Structures are given as C-alpha cells and as structure tokens.
C-alpha cells in the first residue's frame, strides 16, 4: 500500500476508481483501519475517486509519540489531499473520523464539497474517561479494550449473526498499536467543537445510529440544531453503522450527494 509523510507521521492510504471523478475520502473510527469501509469502497468506486487511509496510530500508519490533537488528525487529511493533488473532496468519517470531519468543515471548508459525519458528536464522551482509557491501554495493551468492543460497536443480533466480521474487527483492534490508540484517546479527550458548529458553511449530513450507546441520536440532534446547512439520517444500527447496515448507509449518502449537487 502507498504511504506519504504528514508532518511527523507516515500515513497509509489506498485509492479506488478513476482519479478524474469526484473525490470521496473515508476516515475510520477509533481502533479500526480503513478496511472497515470495504462495503462503501465497493459501492462508490465506480462513480467516485474513493480514498481511504489509516488514521495516525492505526493500521499501517505510524504512531508517533502523542498526545495527538484533533487539529493533527484533520491536517493529515488535508495533507493527503495535497499529496494526491485533490483540490476538493467529499469527506465521510465515522466516530473519531466524524469528529475529524467537523474540524475540517470548520477550519478547511474550501477543501470540501460536502461533509458526512457518522455516529459521532461535537464532543464525544468525557475528558477524564478518555484519559483513563489511554492510561489503561498504555499499561495493559489493547486486549482488554478489544474484549468489550463488540458490545459498543454493534447490536447483539448483528454480533450473533456476523461472527466472522466481528472477530476480524476485534482482532484488528487487539493487534493495533497501543501508543497510537492511547494518543488518539487523548485527542478525543480534548476535542470539543460544540461552540464552533455554527461556523460551518459546508453542507453536512449527520448519520445517527438509533441503537448507538456511544454517540446517540441526541448527539446528532445537537449538531443538526447548530450547523446551518445540515441534514440528519437516523439508521437502525449501533455505533459502526456503515458495517451493520451498509445498504441503508450507502443509500443515505447517495441521496444526500444527489440532492445537493
């Protein structure tokens, strides 16, 4: 897989489809890698230049010493677009990636035609809880976190009927870089974009999981009420909705992009 240097990190990425078509870039959730977007890559690569990457500290990207900041996570995306000579893109991020998308919409609006933020919030969780998780991971590694991850990611019926999918994601998390994961936890601890949402001018789609215990429909409604040009789609899924309900997820993105072209 190709890589490029973004400040202090080596970022692993992949592209799919025709580079002359509109660019659509996907950003992964905490503890996953860009392969989490396979159903979206398969669906969108015929009509878009699909770009996926591993967030710093994840997958095959490097994990420079943290803590990281949401500004670093966002700048990595801008640097990747520059590396690929993409002037404007549509951004789609989930959970941590969705927070990155909000930062980009606030600070780099000229680089994005549309921003899609999924299963996320303007502030995710509580600062101390993230700092405690970072400390736990540095002390004990990622296995304890991985052992409980499926219940945060998916509904129980999905877990029971898709064991291979769940096992792969769980194993990827357990095998990940503990320092990189902890440093991203520290970015999430500090990231709070609630007061800046009103500055967003880019069209935004918010995807909220009806059964998501991590970032709730109420979190989505909070963003919807404050972002001037936003729509929300509620999906009957838990936290990783693009994997749990790929058809509905892809359809929602298609309809959003077609409606505002």
The CATH number linked to 14 is: 3.40.50.1820
**DSSP-derived 3-state class of residue 216:** coil
C-alpha span between 166 and 101 (Å, rounded) = 25
Q: How far is CA 68 from the centre of its chain?
A: 15
- So what's the pLDDT on residue 215? 98
Q: What is the pLDDT along the chain (261 residues), one digit of tens a residue?
A: 899 999 999 999 999 999 999 999 999 999 999 999 999 999 999 999 999 999 999 999 999 999 999 999 999 999 999 999 999 999 999 999 999 999 999 999 999 999 999 999 999 999 999 999 999 999 999 999 999 999 999 999 999 999 999 999 999 999 999 999 999 999 999 999 999 999 999 999 999 999 999 999 999 999 999 999 999 999 999 999 999 999 999 999 999 998 755
Q: How many domains does the chain have?
A: 1
C-alpha span between 3 and 9 (Å, rounded) = 10
C-alpha span between 150 and 95 (Å, rounded) = 15
Buried b (16+ CB within 10 A) or exposed e, 83-99: ebebeebbbbbbbbbbb
Which residues span the domain enclosing 38?
Answer: 3-259
**DSSP-derived 3-state class of residue 84:** coil
Q: Is the dihedral of CA 49, 55, 59, 64 positive or negative?
A: positive
Structure tokens at 116: 């899609």
- So what's the pLDDT on residue 259? 77
CB atoms closer than 10 angstroms to residue 157: 10
**Are residues 79 and 72 in contact, defined by beta-carbon separation less than 8 angstroms?**
no
Torsions phi, psi for 3 (to 5 deg)? -135, 165
């Amino acid at each position: 897989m190709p890589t490029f240097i973004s400040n202090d990190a080596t970022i692993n990425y992949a592209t799919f489809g025709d580079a002359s078509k509109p660019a659509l870039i996907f950003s992964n959730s905490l503890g996953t890698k860009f392969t989490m977007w396979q159903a979206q890559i398969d669906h969108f690569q015929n009509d878009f230049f699909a770009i996926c990457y591993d967030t710093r500290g994840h997958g095959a990207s490097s994990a420079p010493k943290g803590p990281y900041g949401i500004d670093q996570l966002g700048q990595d995306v801008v640097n990747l677009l520059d590396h690929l000579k993409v002037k404007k893109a549509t951004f789609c991020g989930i959970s941590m990636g969705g927070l990155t998308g909000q930062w980009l919409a606030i600070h780099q609006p000229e680089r994005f035609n549309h921003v899609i933020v999924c299963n996320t919030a303007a502030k995710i969780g509580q600062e101390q809880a993230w700092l405690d998780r970072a400390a736990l991971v540095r002390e004990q590694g990622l296995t304890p976190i991985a052992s409980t991850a499926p219940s945060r990611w998916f509904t129980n019926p999905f877990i029971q009927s898709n064991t291979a999918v769940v096992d792969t994601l769980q194993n990827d998390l357990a095998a990940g870089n503990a320092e990189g994961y902890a440093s991203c936890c520290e970015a999430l601890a500090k990231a709070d974009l609630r007061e800046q949402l009103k500055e967003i001018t880019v069209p935004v789609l918010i995807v909220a999981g009806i059964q998501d215990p991590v970032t709730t429909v109420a979190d989505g409604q909070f963003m919807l009420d404050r972002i001037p040009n936003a729509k929300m789609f509620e999906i009957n899924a838990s936290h990783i909705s693009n994997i749990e309900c790929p058809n509905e997820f892809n359809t929602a993105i298609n309809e959003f992009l077609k409606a505002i072209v």
